[in-house]
Amino acid sequence: MTAREEIFALREELNAHNYNYYVLSAPTISDREFDEKMRRLQELEAAHPECFDPASPSQRVGSDLGSEGFRQVLHARPMLSLANTYSRSEVEDFYRRVEQGLNGEPFEICCELKFDGLSISLIYEEGRLVRAVTRGDGVRGDDVTANVRTIRSIPLTLRGEGWPEDFEIRGEVLMPWASFERLNAEREANEEPLFANPRNAASGTLKLLSPTEVARRQLDAYLYYLLADELPTDGHFENLQAARQWGFKVSDAMRKCGSLEEVMAFINYWDTERKNLPVATDGVVLKVNSVRQQEQLGYTAKVPRWAIAYKFKAEQALTRLSSVTYQVGRMGTVTPVANFDAVPLSGTIVRRATLHNDDFVQALDLHIGDMVYVEKGGEIIPKITAVDVDSRGMMLGDKVRMVARCPECGTPLVRYEGEAAWYCPNDAGCPPQLKGRIEHFVSRKAMNIDGLGGETVDLLWSAGLVHDAADLYQLRAIDVSRLPRMGQKSALNIVHGIEASKSVPFERVLFAIGIRFVGETVAKTLAQAFRNMDAVAAARLDELTAVPEIGEKIAQSVIRFFNDDRNRTFVERLREAGLQFAMSEEADDAPASDALKGKSIIISGVFQHHSRDEYKALIERHGGTNVSSISSKTSFVLAGENMGPAKREKAESLGVPLVNEQQFLQMIGEG
Ligand code: IVH
């Protein structure tokens, strides 16, 4: 077998395994075997760039998008939403209107689940995914193709036969409960704001500029609407069954109903049964099945007359508030948490709910022992929505009041002007804050120290081996190996991981040191603007706020951090340990050539070999200027895949040439 043949065979095989795993949920090989085959394919593709194919299963994770974000694309057919109702009698009205509209002609209603994610439009040409666009305002949306490619249940190339040459298929991108819970647990550990529900999480994820991160978050997608000039059949249900054969994930919970009674039975069944699904649903959608009849019924100004969404009521449970405890985060925020008698709610047993802050608690007028309504309604983190005041007996429990002192270290709490939260100000001595900051420092997005998780940090802390993150760099394998349940090998692993973290780039060091309000993105922005730690530490308020995206709140926080002697000492110890305190020189390099001297260049589309940011840097290093809007003075457009039609037309009309990625790389001698 030639390499080319092997590449093709592996692609086909991996596509089949992806389909078995993500669409059918019935894998036939182990993850390890899959990874081995994927690695082999990647090796072969790297050695044979002439076989490159953006639809290869190896291309599910592409390069990062530029900071400009997503291109706006016009929908070929506007993406309408549906008329909504919470009332069964309005469902009956809908049914009667359809009967009348079709002048008594027999019809069927296709009943489906209403998935609670965000709608997506996928465009296929000749059996290949060419574009994925969010709903946006219904007329134009964001081109999120690079991110959607990472969703394993969406086929990049179609299976089977009979698909129209060009078609659109619409559906819902979802974050399954399991991925959602994992993501929020991670965010909680990092004290990042939690997503309120899987829908927000899915939409936040799809708008990320890093497909790698999107891939990690494990989105899924169900497809529910096929559009083409020539559809396989007149039946909506039948068309979706065909789409399933082509590799799309189509819900099994679809029924064609011939009477209102059957429709109501479908609604009743799923009102309870949906709690057992792996994804969030918020109702059912009823559609006239015949496409011809759909056309006959037509549309109002905003919604189709041939469909309606019936929404389920948010699920609630009534339970008894047993206690309120207080959690102290790494930044010292003290959050009240309600603990109540365990109750089942939307498929899980809930025992706790965040009470956010004191304002929230006071607004509820909570007393211990109160019967409280807990709600999920698409929100996985349960919320206490109300107190059942009528069930209060003669004996009213203690009123819930914010504690005055830190539950962990006893320090009186403080509240800052304009903030709802209470803080423990003892940042130098309060154990969960100190430990939390070390955990943050070693976490994946910060220094990413292999083998060091919350548990090990806890052990190191309890053994008195580390008091802050700088102590990590003094650790010897022999000390670590004496910890309970720690083998020599893991100890060595940890020490190596710590050593390796010395080459983690400056922007992540800046994130890791834990300045309040300086998250991953802000750290990157500051690092790019000031280039090194000393410049950040010395920056004045006006210099900080002059940086785009940096407001007064962040600026003040940076200044406060570096004004504190303890923080300065901590940072100095990290410098001595040898961490990266400046941006790598690569980006500042003297011009690599003057191949692009005097040229002003626009970057558009998605690229295979470098990210857009890398192309920007390359343009500058070769003497060119990257510009953002096209004019007759523009020298050329560096055009990637999926370049917007509007930009393309504009370039053509101004006579600005398009240069593709390969040609560009040749121009700068990287071809
Ligand atoms: S059909 C013209 N089917 O609900 C009909 N939509 O409020 C287009 N949705 O924007 C939509 N599950 O995001 C349809 N089985 C389903 C759906 C569904 C969820 C969403 C979709 C749409 C919104 C309508």
CATH at 624? 3.40.50.10190
Between 556 and 346, name the one with better pLDDT: 556
CA of 85 to the centre of ligand 1 (A): 13
Whether 294 and 353 map to the same domain: the answer is no
**pLDDT > 90? residue 656:** no
Whether 496 and 467 map to the same domain: the answer is yes
For ligand 1, whether the C-beta of 172 sits within 6 Å is yes
CA of 112 to the centre of ligand 1 (A): 10
Angle CA(626)–CA(632)–CA(638) in degrees, nearest 5? 40
Whether 459 and 489 map to the same domain: the answer is yes
CA of 208 to the centre of ligand 1 (A): 23
CATH of the domain at 534: 1.10.150.20
Assigned domain for 177 exists: yes
Whether 562 and 606 map to the same domain: the answer is no
Whether 557 and 599 map to the same domain: the answer is no
Question: Which member of 37, 114, 287, 435 is catalytic?
Answer: 114
For ligand 1, whether the C-beta of 303 sits within 6 Å is no
Domain boundary among 282, 310, 338: 310
**pLDDT > 60? residue 525:** yes
CATH of the domain at 100: 3.30.470.30
CATH of the domain at 28: 1.10.287.610
How many structural domains comprise the chain? 5
Closest C-alpha to ligand 1, atom 15: 114
Domain boundary among 38, 61, 84: 61
Assigned domain for 408 exists: no
CA of 159 to the centre of ligand 1 (A): 25
**pLDDT > 70? residue 126:** yes
The pLDDT value given to residue 354: 86
Whether 603 and 533 map to the same domain: the answer is no
Whether 437 and 462 map to the same domain: the answer is yes
Closest C-alpha to ligand 1, atom 18: 114
**pLDDT > 70? residue 472:** yes
Do 116 and 202 contact (CB within 8 A), yes or no? no
pLDDT-based confidence at residue 65 (cuts at 50, 70, 90): low
In this structure, is the dihedral angle defined by the CA atoms of residues 431, 433, 435 and 436, taken in order, positive or negative? positive
CA of 308 to the centre of ligand 1 (A): 9
Half-sphere exposure of 323 (CA within 13 A, CB side): 3
Decide: helix, strand or coil at residue 272. Answer: helix
Average pLDDT of the segment spanning 149-164: 94
Query: Quick one: which of 583, 587, 580 has its CA closest to 501?
Result: 580
Whether 285 and 345 map to the same domain: the answer is no
Do 236 and 294 contact (CB within 8 A), yes or no? yes
Average pLDDT of the segment spanning 622-650: 83
Least confident span in 89-103, 182-196, 551-565, 631-645: 182-196
Assigned domain for 414 exists: no
Whether 199 and 96 map to the same domain: the answer is yes
Do 97 and 320 contact (CB within 8 A), yes or no? no
Whether 604 and 523 map to the same domain: the answer is no
Angle CA(195)–CA(198)–CA(203) in degrees, nearest 5? 80
Bridge partners (DSSP) of residue 307 are 287
Average pLDDT of the segment spanning 467-473: 96
Assigned domain for 444 exists: yes
pLDDT single digits (tens) 258-312: 999 999 999 999 998 988 899 999 899 999 999 999 999 999 878 899 999 999 8
Domain boundary among 391, 419, 441: 391
Decide: helix, strand or coil at residue 341. Answer: strand
**pLDDT > 90? residue 508:** yes
The pLDDT value given to residue 623: 83
249 has catalytic annotation: no
Assigned domain for 365 exists: yes
For ligand 1, whether the C-beta of 51 sits within 6 Å is no
Assigned domain for 410 exists: no
For ligand 1, whether the C-beta of 153 sits within 6 Å is no
Do 119 and 132 contact (CB within 8 A), yes or no? no
The pLDDT value given to residue 67: 44
Assigned domain for 415 exists: no
Place of tokens 């120290």: 449
pLDDT-based confidence at residue 223 (cuts at 50, 70, 90): very high
- Atom from ligand 1 closest to the CA of residue 172: 13
**pLDDT > 90? residue 375:** no
The pLDDT value given to residue 154: 96
Average pLDDT of the segment spanning 540-568: 92
For ligand 1, whether the C-beta of 310 sits within 6 Å is no
Whether 329 and 231 map to the same domain: the answer is no
Domain extent, residue 139, equals 74-310
Residue 605's region, left for phi above 0, alpha for psi from -120 to 50, else beta, is left
Assigned domain for 243 exists: yes
For ligand 1, whether the C-beta of 304 sits within 6 Å is yes
Highest mean pLDDT among 37-46, 215-224, 517-526, 639-648: 215-224
Whether 137 and 272 map to the same domain: the answer is yes
Residue-averaged pLDDT of the chain:
89
Structure tokens of 499? 């050593």
Structure tokens of 409? 């270290």
pLDDT-based confidence at residue 612 (cuts at 50, 70, 90): confident
Do 191 and 184 contact (CB within 8 A), yes or no? no
pLDDT-based confidence at residue 671 (cuts at 50, 70, 90): low
The pLDDT value given to residue 191: 64
**pLDDT > 70? residue 590:** no
The pLDDT value given to residue 199: 87
Structure tokens of 302? 């905003």
